[in-house]
């Protein structure tokens, strides 16, 4: 059982003085990072990102990761979820079971194949399947978020479009019994997607792991028991 950070440990609060040239929002971001127990614990335990704890917590509760599974991780940089997935599946460089994709450059993660590419490129789905030797997969993870424009309605549509692409891909590549986990943002339209997925999976629901910031609209859609 993984101990949740912040409980029982005394933390000294770090204040960030607004530096010349640093905007108030980036000062706020930096202050939050410096005082975030998940950030501190990710650093201490060698996880690439605090996001690693979101997958750890969802796995503890919903039993998503198992030894020997083949996994695709969409939007994988800087690699926290890949690390968690490689550990739980036992994936190695000799016999990699995990492939990740991100358009950002990143350091290699032991036990996983990484494609530096935009998932929305036409050839991306085939390249992901080929990377795992053409096998069907057990789990598709997506932590992708479209870059925001500041225009609320546009941002929402772009986020939903990305999740829908991820869901279509999952339905193409999953084995019967497989699962799909994707970041969504609360706002309504994802319930439509949830309805579609309910037809293709035995169970579908939303999760908000404790590591997902309470003030963020982020949530995760989990679909288990792919019907094929
Ligand atoms: C929140 S981060 C993922 C963190 C990751 N789960 C971890 O644990 O380290 C989201 C990632 O999605 C990537 N992303 C967003 N849209 C993408 C796209 N169309 N194709 C590939 N990657 C994308 C971003 O570059 C970013 O690195």
Give the residue, out of 47, 144, 145, 160, with the most ligand 1 atoms within 8 A of its beta carbon, to mutate for a pocket test: 144
CATH placement of domain 52-226: 3.40.50.150
3-state secondary structure 140-188: EEECCCCCCCCCHHHHHHHHHHHHHHHHHHHHHHEEEEEEEEEEEECCC
What was the pLDDT predicted at 22?
A: 67
What was the pLDDT predicted at 64?
A: 98
Ligand 1 centroid to residue 65 C-alpha, Å: 20
How many other C-beta atoms can be found within 10 angstroms of the C-beta atom of residue 86? 24
Catalytic residues: 183
Ligand 1 centroid to residue 106 C-alpha, Å: 11
Rounded-to-5 percentages of helix, strand, coil across the chain: 35, 20, 45
> What is the number of the ligand 1 atom nearest to the C-alpha of 119?
20
Exposure b/e, 136-149, CB count within 10 A at least 16 = b:
ebbbbbbbbbbeee
Ligand 1 centroid to residue 102 C-alpha, Å: 6
Residue ranges covered by each domain of the chain: 52-226
> What is the number of the ligand 1 atom nearest to the C-alpha of 80?
8
Q: Which residue has the tokens 């968690």?
A: 84
22 φψ region: left (φ > 0), alpha (ψ -120 to 50), beta (else): beta
Write out the H or E segment, with its range, that includes residue 26: helix 24-34
Rounded Cα distance between 88 and 58, Å, is 13
pTM for the whole thing?
0.88
Low-confidence ranges of the chain (pLDDT < 50): 1-10
67 φψ region: left (φ > 0), alpha (ψ -120 to 50), beta (else): beta
Residues 174, 180, 185, 189, CA torsion sign: positive
Rounded Cα distance between 43 and 54, Å, is 15
- Ligand 1 pocket: which residues have CB below 6 Å? 48-49, 51-52, 75-81, 101-104, 118-120, 143-146
């Amino acid at each position: 059982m993984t101990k949740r950070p912040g409980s029982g440990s005394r933390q000294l609060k770090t204040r960030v003085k607004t530096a010349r040239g640093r905007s108030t929002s980036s000062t706020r971001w930096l202050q939050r990072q410096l005082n975030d127990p998940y950030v501190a614990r990710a650093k201490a335990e060698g996880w690439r990102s605090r996001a690693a704890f979101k997958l750890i917590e969802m796995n503890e509760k919903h039993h998503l990761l198992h030894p020997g599974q083949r996994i695709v991780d969409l939007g994988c940089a800087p690699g926290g979820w890949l690390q968690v997935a490689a550990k739980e599946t036992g994936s190695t460089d000799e016999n990699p079971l995990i492939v990740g994709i991100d358009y950002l450059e990143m350091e290699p993660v032991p036990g996983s194949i990484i494609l530096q590419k935009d998932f929305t490129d036409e050839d991306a789905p085939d390249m992901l399947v080929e990377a795992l030797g053409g096998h069907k997969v057990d789990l598709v993870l997506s932590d992708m978020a479209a870059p925001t424009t500041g225009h609320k309605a546009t941002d929402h549509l772009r986020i939903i479009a990305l999740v829908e692409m991820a869901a279509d891909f999952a339905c193409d590549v999953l084995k019967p019994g497989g699962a799909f986990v994707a970041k969504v943002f609360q706002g309504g339209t994802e319930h439509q997607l949830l309805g579609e997925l309910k037809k293709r999976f035995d169970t579908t629901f939303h999760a908000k792991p404790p590591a997902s910031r309470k003030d963020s609209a982020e949530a995760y859609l989990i679909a288990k028991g792919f019907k094929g």
